[in-house]
């Protein structure tokens, strides 16, 4: 399968493509891993992701709607809010356009033991030479190998930064870690439990199908602040036209009675974009640790946008 063509037409066939690569009989998914297969632990994000939400989790929970039906998160990233809430959710739908990331979620959900075994192998072989050898392996076909590569690179790359070029190829240099924590078996098994009843898809944000009283949390690539940010976490960039498209989709959901919360950077563009009577804008402070200069890693203002009153 040519991975370079996977995102050529995002509106067609992504879920079918993913199912074929995973070689899963969709009719037999219900007979997957049993609820008691692994010990229950506290699941936390199994990948580091730029813009991760653990530093503003209290603010996110404070701005949740009082009640909702199904949960949707179409820019899943590290999934911090999902993992915080998963025990209270009746049904969750997680999605993203990053092929490797979605594959990792699927493998954690369905083949965690295979993943852990491969991660142990990566941990044994880890070195600068091995890191760059794995970084160059852009065309793996085995689902568990794809997931293990993502987790290995994510734990050992510079600042845990997942960045790709225009070809969708990961290109971050190696980081400096004494103990990068590559395997994390206990958390992977806990995440497996958390994901058992979750629908995980490879799709664009505007392909989700929530209905009235469902809740959608949008955490898109942020609008750049003073040119210091980037938006290429997947092969396709996320530009200002996409931000407008996201706002329009949020308005569409609002008219359908769907509850929406959205995170973004605190810029005039974003405030203007969501300045209508349908949205409320709250300011929160988030700790950002990606800057290459440690003395510039500090709290920055972000916005939380909702279409309901908390």
Residue 239 CA: distances (Å) to CA of 29, 188, 193, 236, 299? 36, 33, 35, 9, 24
Residue 142 lies inside a defined structural domain of this protein: yes
| Cβ-proximal residues to 193 (8 Å cutoff; 6+ apart), any chain | 35, 38, 40, 41, 43
Alpha helix segments (H runs only) across 77-224: 80-85, 99-110, 112-125, 128-135, 143-156, 185-194
End-to-end distance of the chain based on CA atoms, in angstroms?
A: 47
Model pLDDT, residue 287 = 75
Confidence of residue 3 (pLDDT cuts 50, 70, 90): very low
**What CATH number has the domain bearing residue 108?**
3.40.50.150
Model pLDDT, residue 289 = 55
Model pLDDT, residue 35 = 41
Question: Which residues lie across from 93 on neighbouring strands?
Answer: 72, 199
Q: Which domain holds residue 119?
A: 3-21+45-306
Using one digit for the tens of pLDDT, what is the confidence trace for 174-223?
Answer: 998 888 999 999 999 999 999 999 999 999 999 999 999 999 999 999 99
**Distance, C-alpha 9 to centroid of its chain:** 21
Confidence of residue 8 (pLDDT cuts 50, 70, 90): very low
Q: Using CA atoms, how far apart are residues 224 and 208, in angstroms rounded to an integer?
A: 25
Model pLDDT, residue 4 = 42
* Domains contained in the chain, number: 1
- CB burial of residue 233 (10 Å; 0-12, 13-18, 19+): buried
- The angle at the Cα of 228, spanning 265 to 297, to the nearest 5 degrees, equals 80
- The angle at the Cα of 130, spanning 125 to 133, to the nearest 5 degrees, equals 140
Which stretch of 24-28, 152-156, 174-178, 198-202 has the lowest confidence by average pLDDT? Answer: 24-28
Q: Indicate if the pLDDT at residue 34 is higher than 50.
A: no
Contact 205, 218 (CB under 8 A): yes
Residue 33 lies inside a defined structural domain of this protein: no
Residue 34 lies inside a defined structural domain of this protein: no
Q: Which two tokens stand for residue 268?
A: 């005039």
Q: Which two tokens stand for residue 52?
A: 């991760």
Per-residue burial over 139-149, b = 16 or more CB atoms within 10 Å of its CB, e = otherwise: ebebbbbbbbb
Residue 38 lies inside a defined structural domain of this protein: no
Rg (alpha carbons) of the chain, rounded to whole number: 19
Q: Indicate if the pLDDT at residue 48 is higher than 50.
A: yes
Residue 36 lies inside a defined structural domain of this protein: no
Q: Indicate if the pLDDT at residue 20 is higher than 70.
A: no
Question: Is beta strand 299-306 parallel, antiparallel or unpaired with respect to 259-265?
Answer: antiparallel
Using one digit for the tens of pLDDT, what is the confidence trace for 275-308?
Answer: 999 999 999 988 765 554 555 556 789 999 999 9
Using one digit for the tens of pLDDT, what is the confidence trace for 233-275?
Answer: 555 578 999 999 999 999 999 999 999 999 999 999 999 999 9
Residue 210 lies inside a defined structural domain of this protein: yes
Residue 102 lies inside a defined structural domain of this protein: yes
Residue 237 lies inside a defined structural domain of this protein: yes
Per-residue burial over 11-37, b = 16 or more CB atoms within 10 Å of its CB, e = otherwise: eeebbebbbebbeeeeeeeeeebeeee
Q: Using CA atoms, how far apart are residues 65 and 59, in angstroms rounded to an integer?
A: 12
Report the percentage of the chain scoring pLDDT > 70.
80
- 168 or 282: which leads in pLDDT: 282
């Amino acid at each position: 399968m040519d991975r370079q063509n996977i995102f050529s037409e995002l509106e067609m066939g992504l879920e079918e493509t993913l199912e074929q690569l995973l070689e899963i009989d969709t009719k037999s998914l219900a007979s997957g891993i049993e609820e008691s297969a692994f010990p229950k632990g506290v699941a936390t994000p199994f990948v580091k992701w730029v813009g991760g939400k653990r530093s503003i989790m209290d603010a996110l929970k404070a701005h949740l709607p009082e009640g909702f039906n199904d949960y949707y998160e179409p820019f899943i990233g590290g999934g911090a809010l999902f993992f915080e809430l998963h025990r209270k959710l009746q049904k969750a739908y997680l999605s993203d356009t990053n092929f490797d990331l979605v594959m990792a979620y699927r493998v954690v959900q369905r083949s965690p033991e295979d993943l852990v075994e491969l991660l142990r192998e990566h941990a044994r072989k880890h070195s600068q030479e091995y890191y760059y050898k794995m970084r160059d392996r852009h065309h793996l076909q085995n689902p568990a190998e794809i997931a293990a590569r993502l987790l290995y690179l994510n734990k050992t790359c510079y600042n845990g930064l997942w960045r790709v070029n225009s070809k969708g190829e990961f290109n971050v240099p190696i980081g400096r870690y004494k103990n990068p924590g590559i395997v994390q078996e206990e958390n992977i098994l806990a995440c497996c439990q958390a994901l058992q009843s979750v629908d995980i898809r490879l799709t664009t944000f505007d392909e989700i199908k929530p209905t009235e009283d469902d809740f959608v949390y949008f955490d898109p690539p942020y609008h750049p602040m003073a040119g210091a940010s980037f938006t290429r976490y997947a092969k396709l960039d996320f530009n200002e036209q996409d931000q407008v498209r996201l706002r329009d989709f949020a308005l569409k959901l609002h008219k359908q009675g769907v509850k929406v919360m959205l995170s973004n950077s605190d810029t005039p563009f974003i405030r203007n974009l969501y300045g209508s009577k349908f949205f409320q804008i709250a300011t929160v402070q988030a700790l950002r640790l990606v800057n290459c200069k440690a003395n510039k890693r500090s709290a920055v203002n972000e916005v939380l946008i909702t279409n309901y009153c908390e």
